[in-house]
Amino acid sequence: MLRLEWNSLREGDRVLVHDADDPELRLLAGVVAGVLNTSGSNEVSIKVTSSVGMRVIQPQRLSVHHDPVDFDGQCWRCAGPQSASRAAPRPRRGA
């Protein structure tokens, strides 16, 4: 999630979070539980429910999507390792 989107989150907003405790980084549905405004990226707490129960986490903004999610191909977690072989190489400067 871009910083502008992250800093616009408010309590009650629905999001999807990649579970850092899951080796497959699956998405969990969550609800913003709290926002602490800071000078850079806000500190956002999100309530999620997983197989181990309900918990409140403070994920990094790049592991969070809006719900419903609009997959734009920018999230390496969503793309997964299988997409690395299909990724187009970046052009080199001066080439």
Degrees (nearest 5) of the Cα angle 56, 58, 62? 130
Higher pLDDT, 12 or 19: 12
How many structural domains does the chain have?
1
- Convert the pLDDT of each residue in 36-92 to its tens digit: 999 989 999 999 987 778 999 999 998 999 887 666 556 767 766 543 333 344 455
Q: pTM of the full predicted structure?
A: 0.73
* 17 has pLDDT over 70: yes
**Within a domain: 62:** yes
| DSSP for residue 76 | H
**Within a domain: 95:** no
**In CATH, what number is assigned to the domain containing residue 50?**
2.30.30
